[in-house]
Amino acid sequence: MELNAHIPEGPIETLWDNHRFNMKLVNPANKRRFNVIVIGTGLAGAAAAATMGELGYNVTAFTYHDSPRRAHSIAAQGGINAAKNYSNDGDSVHRLFYDTVKGGDFRSREANVYRLAQTSVSIIDQCVAQGVPFAREYGGSLENRSFGGVQVSRTFYARGQTGQQLLLGAYQALMRQVDAGTVRLVPRTEMLDVVVVDGRAQGVVVRDLVTGEVSSHSAHAVVLATGGYGNVYYLSTNAKKSNATAAWRAHRRGAAFANACFTQIHPTCIPASGENQSKLTLMSESLRNDGRIWVPKDNNDTRSADQIPEAERDYYLERRYPSFGNLVPRDVASRAAKREVDEGRGVGPLKNGVYLDFAESIGRLGRNEIFERYGNLFEMYERITGEDPFEMPMRIYPATHYTMGGLWVDYNLQSSIPGLFVGGEANFSDHGANRLGASALMQGLADGYFVLPATLGDYLAGLLGTKPAGTDAAEFKEAEASVADQTKRYLSTNGKHSVDYFHKELGKIVWDKIGMARDKAGLESALRDIPALRQDFERDVKVLGSADSMNDSLEKAFRVADFFELAELMARDALNREESCGGHFRVEHQTEDGEAERDDENFSYVGAWEWNGPGQAQTLHKEELTFNYVHPAQRSYK
């Protein structure tokens, strides 16, 4: 496998403009001759499908939800970054680029990140024109706030529901195209295979989740915008259905999977309350603007928060990182919280959290102002825990939130399978080893509205006059048969344990061994334990019901089977990466004061893995990273 990132030549400021000029175009009359399949209707998928529809392509958009509006992008709370410099505080495209490369701990591609920063500006324009009700100043101009990992205010937001409002904007743009007849929307349908014919992705095999019918669909190109794989941990902030199946099946068909070990543990989530916890809820990072994080100094302190005097509290982030304080990047904040809890200073009934305290801000700004900023988050917290953050500090703890790794893509967001494009969290491209807050929404929309429609055009232009392979081709039949086989196997296994049982067991291994801190021995044991558990799963899973009706357990069985293989790759990737960077913390590689120690000499590359068949270790391919504009240095937030 040859990996070519196809980064254009020239000064970074001009790359995207020049590239767009050099790309081939499809004339308007020819666009409707091209069929494009988009899988997933979150920010990246809905935006890409809508924009491709506006351009005149024939788009078919699949979602496993009953409506595109349910995609997990909807749950993003805090905001979206853009280099508008409306706050006049020294922001610029270059600074957003710089912050993102640095925040990603120098493991992202400069060219992609620069384009992201440039595009951010147009995203805000587009969303405002669509009617996204961003927060406003009294004069009517857009309001900004600050976010972790940066020192400027460049985050646009809509209360604590920014993801919802941006997704609804993209969903509405998509529905406008459905109405116009350029996009065919197929809900409650899950992709189970990518079909590669003559070396190009030419279609997909999907399962109708209501009737169970398995069908083939062919197209000139396929876009995957299917989100991340955080649910490999079982407990995460991801929605319950979020899964890696589409991306993983593409990997099995030849798409390289990059940086699988780069997973983000978000520092401010509500701690688990017990064994039956089904998911974790994130409290927006924006809370760290006005909340102060602390634990009692004494390990055995069992007093309630309000009984602990100021002198007996340790505001450990402010102490260790005086210049960024509570606003250090996510990976730094998460590891710091883990250290406090591991050393026995955790708070709450299970001693599994740290305090996020608003008392000082309430005193300074007043209760009303705090309610205005975070009212819905406070309500959400109270509903879940039964405690009022105006009276008692919140309890928070890190939880899996986002996966920087994903399918490898070049500058055009094309995977190593020609014709298969990947956008949003499903690709690996822009966040390096750690994503900054309010940058996921930015990347999803940049990919969907601006990058994919342009680069797909260039690819499609080369196919003018050709028809995609018919769904009667042998490759489609083979893919359909493999889905049917797998279905039959699960339904007939009739073992002892439910799919969720195995998913939880897998999650425990992944969280313990490939979580916030990783070491060689743990990763090697994960590489033994995961395949062993997968064998148990294949032998002993119990899936009831039938193949030809709605069957939640069957859907989950497909997803969990893929999580097993993905978890193994995460361990392999983490074992290979003998350094600490961003979300990947190898215990063996830390500085004297416990900070991540990168090894630029040996690991300044993207680790892209090639599938070699079931049960076989993947082959590593390295895409070397070069830094011409942001000089790699140890990240310091002190």
Partner 1 sequence: MNFTLKVWRQSGPDVKGSFETYQATGISEDMSFLEVLDVVNEDLIEQGIEPVAFDHDCREGICGSCGMMINGQAHGPGTRTATCQLHMRTFKDGDSITVEPWRAAAFTLVKDLTVNRSALDRIVESGGFISVSTGAAPEANLIPVPKVVADAAMDAAECIGCGACVAACPNGAAQLFTAAKMQHLNLLPQGQSERYQRAERMVETMEEFFGSCTNHGECQFACPKGISIDVIAYMNRDYMSAKVKNRKLSGQS
Q: Which of residues 207-226 bind partner 1 (CB under 8 A)?
A: 210
* Smaller CB separation from partner 1, 141 or 628: 141
Stretch that binds partner 1, among 132-140, 298-306, 389-397, 423-431 (CB under 8 A): 132-140
Binding mask 425-464 for partner 1 (x = CB under 8 A): ------------------------xx--x-----------
Stretch that binds partner 1, among 129-137, 302-310, 523-531, 601-609 (CB under 8 A): 129-137
Q: Say which residue the tokens 């030849």 belong to.
A: 254
We find the least distance from the C-beta atom of residue 453 to partner 1, in angstroms, to be 7
Q: Scan residues 41-80 and list those touching partner 1 (CB under 8 A).
A: 47, 50-51, 54, 65-72, 74-75
Q: Scan residues 529-558 and list those touching partner 1 (CB under 8 A).
A: 542, 544-545, 549-550, 552-553
* Smaller CB separation from partner 1, 142 or 197: 142
Work out the angle at residue 613's Cα, subtended by the Cα atoms of residues 608 and 617, and round it to the nearest 5 degrees: 55
Q: Scan residues 319-348 and list those touching partner 1 (CB under 8 A).
A: none
Separation of alpha carbons 288 and 328, rounded Å: 9
* Smaller CB separation from partner 1, 100 or 551: 551
Contacts of 175 (CB under 8 A, 6+ apart): 68, 185
Establish if 28 lies at the interface with partner 1 (CB under 8 A): no
Neighbours of 427 (CB within 10 A): 27
Per-residue CA distances from 114 to 111, 208, 430, 514 (Å) = 5, 40, 9, 30
Q: Considering only CA atoms, which of 307, 373, 331 is closest in space to residue 78?
A: 373
Answer for which of 240, 351, 488, 539 binds partner 1 (CB under 8 A) is: 240
Separation of alpha carbons 38 and 201, rounded Å: 12
Per-residue CA distances from 431 to 120, 424, 606 (Å) = 14, 11, 12
Widest distance between CA atoms in the chain = 76
* Smaller CB separation from partner 1, 197 or 272: 272
Please name the amino acid found at residue 49.
A
Establish if 25 lies at the interface with partner 1 (CB under 8 A): no
Q: What are phi and psi of 253, to 5 degrees?
A: -95, 5
Kindly list the strands in the beta sheet with 214-218, ordered across the sheet, starting from the edge strand earlier in the chain. Answer: 189-197, 200-208, 214-218
* Smaller CB separation from partner 1, 31 or 586: 31
Dihedral sign for Cα 510, 512, 517, 521, please: negative
Answer for which of 28, 29, 88, 138 binds partner 1 (CB under 8 A) is: 138
Q: Scan residues 352-371 and list those touching partner 1 (CB under 8 A).
A: none
Answer for which of 22, 300, 383, 628 binds partner 1 (CB under 8 A) is: 383
Contacts of 202 (CB under 8 A, 6+ apart): 195, 196, 218, 219, 220, 222, 419, 468, 469, 475
We find the least distance from the C-beta atom of residue 208 to partner 1, in angstroms, to be 12
Establish if 498 lies at the interface with partner 1 (CB under 8 A): yes
Binding mask 552-591 for partner 1 (x = CB under 8 A): xx--------------------------------------
DSSP 510-537: HHHHSSSSB-HHHHHHHHHHHHHHHHHH
Contacts of 19 (CB under 8 A, 6+ apart): 8, 411
| CB-based contact 236:270 (threshold 8 Å) | no
Establish if 84 lies at the interface with partner 1 (CB under 8 A): yes
* Smaller CB separation from partner 1, 386 or 465: 386
Separation of alpha carbons 25 and 29, rounded Å: 12
Stretch that binds partner 1, among 127-135, 413-421, 589-597, 604-612 (CB under 8 A): 127-135
Stretch that binds partner 1, among 268-276, 287-295, 419-427, 603-611 (CB under 8 A): 268-276
Q: Scan residues 147-176 and list those touching partner 1 (CB under 8 A).
A: 158-159, 161, 163-165, 168, 171-173, 175-176
Binding mask 282-321 for partner 1 (x = CB under 8 A): x---------------------------------------
* Smaller CB separation from partner 1, 133 or 363: 133
